[in-house]
Amino acid sequence: MSEDTLFSKIIRKEIPSDMVYQDELVTAFRDITPKAPTHILIVPNKVIPTVDDVTEEDELTLGRLFTVAAKLARQEGISEDGYRLVVNCRDFGGQEVYHLHMHLIGGARLGHIPSVNK
- In sequence order, the 6+-apart residues with CB closer than 8 A to the CB of 81 are 106
Side-chain-side CA neighbours of 35 within 13 Å: the count stands at 13
88 lies in the binding site for ligand AMP (CB under 6 A): yes
95 lies in the binding site for ligand AMP (CB under 6 A): yes
The active-site residue, picked from 39, 99, 101, 112, is 101
Q: Which of 63, 82, 84, 97 binds ligand AMP (CB under 6 A)?
A: 97
Residue nearer to ligand AMP on the CB measure, 17 or 27: 17
Shortest spacing between CB 58 and ligand AMP, in angstroms: 18
Helix (H) or strand (E) holding 105: strand 102-106
Strand order in the sheet with 102-106: 19-22, 26-30, 38-44, 102-106, 83-86
Q: Which residues of the shown chain bind ligand AMP in the complex (CB under 6 A)? A: 6, 17, 29, 31-33, 41, 88, 94-97
